Amino acid sequence: MDHKYIEKMLSKMDEDLSKNGMSRRDAMKLAGVTGAGMFMGGTTDAFAAEEKVVKSNAKGKIVIVGGGLAGMSTAARLTLNLTNPDITVIEPQELSVSYQPGQTLVGGGLWDEDDIAYKRDDFIPDGVKIIKEKAILFNPQENKLTTEKGTVVSYDYLILATGLHLDFERIKGLEDAGRAMSAGDNERLLKALGDDGICSIYTAKGATKTWEQMQKYIAQAKSGKKTKFLFTHPSTPVKCGGAPKKIMYLTNARLKEAGARENAELTFYPNGGAMFGVPEYHDAILGQFKREDFKWHYRHNLIEVDKENKIAVFDAKWQEKGPWDPVMKDFEVIPKHEKVRVPYDFLHITPPQLAPREIAESDLGSAKGWVPVNKETLQHIRYENVFSLGDVAQVPMGKTGGSARKQYKVVVDNLIALMNNKKLEAKYAGYTVCPLITDIGTVMLAEFDWTVKPTPSFPLDPTVERWMWWLMKIYALKPMTIYGMLSGRA
């Protein structure tokens, strides 16, 4: 880890704690966690310490497509675990390793874009080759791929960590936005969203714009005008499923701070029929929504934005009891749809998300586009020398930095096992973490896995919003990610 950065972070945290009359030690006691490990990665599973590594002599040319958090961490860990690694990362985006979980904080005006921007070239592990081009053609039968500049790259082992695309163009009225990725200038997207209340924290630039728009409409509410704030959640898997709600909570906090809350109506329109897939967290969030006087309408999917008239159009879905099925001896369930038009002042869009076209349309993609892998070993279901992790992998509930943090170690262990002709024994168990910001100063640390039950790393009620988790989110997670995970150790 970068000790200078950590010292700076700890001193900032101490400052924050002392404002509340506490020392760091007191804070840790309050959290029920002993030792410094809580913030720096020592004592719990969630913050595992550095491990002793026995290097493998396994040989083979490894190509990693995607140099974001998942890809670059994998590259780093492979260099730590192989004696003579031959690794190439293919990544065209200069800011590919930027800290995406911070986009919510940028959108809420707590951080600046500069706080989350990190350069790919500063995180290329020693000895790893980089091709600054985009891979566009995959030929897994011949273990080759081709970049947009025509460079043909062959490999023995391939790791797909391309991330996903934000499919704004699927929404009628935003066709000009095209598809976007989190990093990059995203000029086309920003132009399509305009300056009249539509925003999205799902890109770094968009997060800055979200803060600008939020301030504008908070000022409107403060002036006494009734102001409608809408927040959406689409009908596709999304990265960080908590983010659509986090930005709503931060908007609420900023409205309260400005003394403008009473003129604002905040409404959440999720495509699904629950606040969260884990019942315990669903119940907790529902309680928070009631407490904060939020409104919500389940099973509403944003399909159109009428920018001129400031109307969001949703496909609203419900089910009706159908006819008796004499063969199945049960009543059928008939899905119903209708278009619902909702006026807005401020509209935060969580865009539909999908695998990059070049993956989805290749032999490496599944019918749904994502890379079909064994969800435990993360090995491709058809090509045994291919692995995938991060947002592009077809893994349930796996599109968060916290999931990638578990997955990259599994991929490294299993790839080395394969290179050594051994059984793939490392398994991903579906761990995901969502530090759900519920206010400026509180976070509910939602940890869970495929058991769809809370799996807290700390001996505390995970459904309780805590200031301690806020401190962790603000001060500890970024250095842990940037200097711990990207070094292949944490």
Partner 1 sequence: MQIEFELVTYDEELDKFELDETIYQMELSEDDAETYHLLKDSDLHLYNWLKESGFFTKYIKEEVYPESENKKIAISDINGISFRRFYFFKVTSGDSHYEYFKKLFDIHEESDWQDREDVGEEILQCLSTKRKELILELS
Structure tokens at 188: 């086309």
Is residue 339 involved in binding partner 1 (CB under 8 A)?
Answer: no
Part of the chain binding partner 1 (CB under 8 A), chosen from 183-191, 218-226, 324-332, 472-480: 324-332
Q: Is the Cβ–Cβ distance between 411 and 74 less than 8 Å?
A: yes
Interface pick for partner 1 out of 238, 342, 373, 416 (rule CB under 8 A):
238
Nearer to partner 1 (CB atom), residue 33 or residue 166:
166
Shortest spacing between CB 374 and partner 1, in angstroms = 12
Distance CA 427, CA 308 (A): 50
Q: Can you tell me the distance from the alpha carbon of 433 to that of 392, in angstroms, rounded to the nearest whole number?
A: 18
| Chosen residue from 36, 80, 110, 274 binding partner 1 by CB under 8 A | 274
Instruction: Give the integer Cα–Cα distance in Å for 360 and 368.
Output: 7
39 or 289, CB closer to partner 1? 289
Q: Is 237 in the site for partner 1 (CB under 8 A)?
A: yes
Residue 396 as a binder of partner 1 (CB under 8 A): the answer is yes
Task: Calculate helix-pair angle for 24-31, 3-19, nearest 10 degrees.
Answer: 80
Check: CB of residue 57 under 8 Å from CB of residue 83.
Answer: yes
Task: Give the interface segment with partner 1, choosing from 22-30, 177-185, 271-279, 440-448 (CB under 8 A).
Answer: 271-279
Catalytic residue among 434, 444, 472, 477: 434
Whether residue 395 contacts residue 375, with contact meaning beta carbons closer than 8 Å, is answered with yes
Q: Whose Cβ is closer to partner 1: residue 127's or residue 273's?
A: 273
Q: What's the CA angle centered on 23, arms 19 and 26, to 5 degrees? A: 120
Quote the tokens at residue 217: 């409409």
Asked whether position 1 contacts partner 1 by CB under 8 A, the answer is: no
Per CB under 8 A, does 170 bind partner 1? no
- Residues 357-386 as x/- pattern, contact with partner 1 by CB under 8 A: ----------x-------------------
Q: Nearest approach, Cβ of 457 to partner 1 (angstroms)?
A: 21
Helix (H, G, I), strand (E, B) or coil at 223: coil
Q: Are 300 and 340 in contact (CB under 8 A)?
A: yes
CB distance 202 to 394 below 8 Å: no
Would strands 227-233 and 264-270 be described as parallel, antiparallel, or unpaired?
A: parallel
199 included as an active-site residue: no
- The count of residues in the chain is 490
Q: Binding of partner 1 at residue 168 (CB under 8 A)?
A: no
Please tell me whether residue 397 binds partner 1 under the rule CB under 8 A.
Answer: yes
Of 35, 127, 224, 335, which one interacts with partner 1 (CB under 8 A)?
335
Tokens in use for 233? 């959640």
Neighbours of 280 (CB within 10 A): 16
Residue 277 or residue 456: which is nearer to partner 1 going by CB?
Answer: 277
Place of tokens 């009620």: 461
Stretch that binds partner 1, among 62-70, 104-112, 213-221, 321-329 (CB under 8 A): 321-329
DSSP state of 187: H
CB of 53: closest distance to partner 1 in angstroms? 32
Q: Which is nearer to partner 1, 54 or 327 (CB)?
A: 327
Active-site annotation holds for 240: yes
Q: Are strands 152-154 and 300-306 parallel, antiparallel or unpaired?
A: unpaired
Position among 139, 235, 263, 374 found at the interface with partner 1 (CB under 8 A): 235
Interface with partner 1 (CB under 8 A): 233-238, 241, 270-277, 317, 319, 322, 325, 327-335, 367, 396-397, 430, 450, 452
* Residues acting as catalytic residues: 240, 434
